[in-house]
Amino acid sequence: MNWYAIFAIYVLFWVISAFLVLPFGLCTPDETGEVLLKGQADSAPSNFRPGRVMLRATLLSAVLFGLYYANYVQGWVTIDNIPGLHPPR
């Protein structure tokens, strides 16, 4: 696997991980007791921390990519192991 493929696959894992960890730890103004501003949505987070989301996404994507790459190198799960995915011989 070349470096371009490794980078592209890691970026895909990072984006998916960012969307997975995005809602964790957020509180709405109702939960924190803050007053809503005029025009503010009720569901808008009051304590959004993008740095924490990026750190969590980086850690999760590193673990997931590590598992993916280990499977790529070792061949633990292949298309032949999954019933119904390979054409009949």
Tokens of residue 64, six digits:
């997931």
Query: Is residue 86, in this structure, part of any structural domain at all?
Result: no
Query: Is residue 47, in this structure, part of any structural domain at all?
Result: yes
> 7 pLDDT exceeds 90?
yes
Contact 26, 61 (CB under 8 A): no
How far is the C-alpha of 19 from the C-alpha of 66, rounded, in Å?
Answer: 19
Q: Identify the pLDDT of residue 37.
A: 86
Query: Is residue 87, in this structure, part of any structural domain at all?
Result: no
Residue in 73, 51, 65, 60 with CA at minimum distance from that of residue 10: 65
- Read off the pLDDT of each residue in 78-83 and give the average, rounded to a whole number: 84
* Domains in the chain, number: 1
What angle (nearest 5°) sits at the alpha carbon of residue 56, between those of residues 4 and 45? 120
Query: Is residue 41, in this structure, part of any structural domain at all?
Result: yes
> 84 pLDDT exceeds 90?
no
Residues 48-79: tens digit of each pLDDT: 999 999 999 999 999 999 999 999 999 999 88
Domain that holds residue 42: 3-81
Q: How confident is the model at residue 88 (pLDDT cuts 50, 70, 90)?
A: low
